[in-house]
Amino acid sequence: MEGAKFFWPDCNNPPFSASLSMKEKSRRRTLLSVLEEAAIAIPDELERAFRQHHGLVFATAYRITGNAGDAEDALQTVFLRLLRRSLSAAPLDNMESYLRRAAINAALDVIRARQSDQTVPLPEENSGQMPTVPGQADASGLRQALAQALSQLKPRSAEIFALRYLEGLSNPQIAETLGISQVLVAVIVHRTRQQLRKQLRPYLGDRS
């Protein structure tokens, strides 16, 4: 697989400005905001998980949404779900893996929730809106179109694609993370990639 070259070169490493960095005070405020009732105390293990992994969750969500506000919404959702889970569930074997997957799914949920109010139409090939050469593709429009296309996939396909091409995990790593075979991962990656190439052809030009 040539995962690192799919779509656009800087997709795996979006530029983070200093304004996107979460300072200590805002990090604490974000953690507090996941609580539905002020009387609920933050468990120590959740506090530690937030301090250690909030950056991973935010960055993962940002790579999908392309929007800092939406990424913060996903961040809050992830730790709210973790709080609810921690009240009765057994400890997680791999917190980082769980949070990475949770961030992907929360980010996709944010996008799906917005689709009824705001959508990003994909231009038809003969509509005159298609870039004449790949270099003319609007990176912002491509990112939005990719996010929309991902949100319309089956959840497992979207998750595997994001882990492979946005998070940079290998097929064996994805298989281990999800508890499925490498063959199944490879099949889903191939089919999803072909489907997205077809949907995003107006943005990709000759690359598709």
Overall number of domains in the chain: 1
pLDDT per position as a tens digit, 159-169? 999 999 999 99
First-to-last alpha carbon distance for the chain, in angstroms, is 15
Q: Is 66 left (phi over 0), alpha (psi -120 to 50) or beta?
A: left
The whole domain housing 83 covers 3-207
Give the residues of the chain that fall short of pLDDT 50: 1-25, 36-39, 119-137, 208
Give pLDDT tens digits for 8-18. 333 444 444 43
pLDDT for residue 90: 74
Sign of CA dihedral 89, 95, 97, 100: positive
Q: Take residue 55 and report the two structure tokens written for it.
A: 């950056």
Specify the pLDDT at position 182: 96
pLDDT of residue 117: 56
pTM for the model: 0.68
In whole angstroms, what is the distance from residue 75 CA to residue 77 CA?
Answer: 5
CA dist 43 and 49 (Å) reads 10
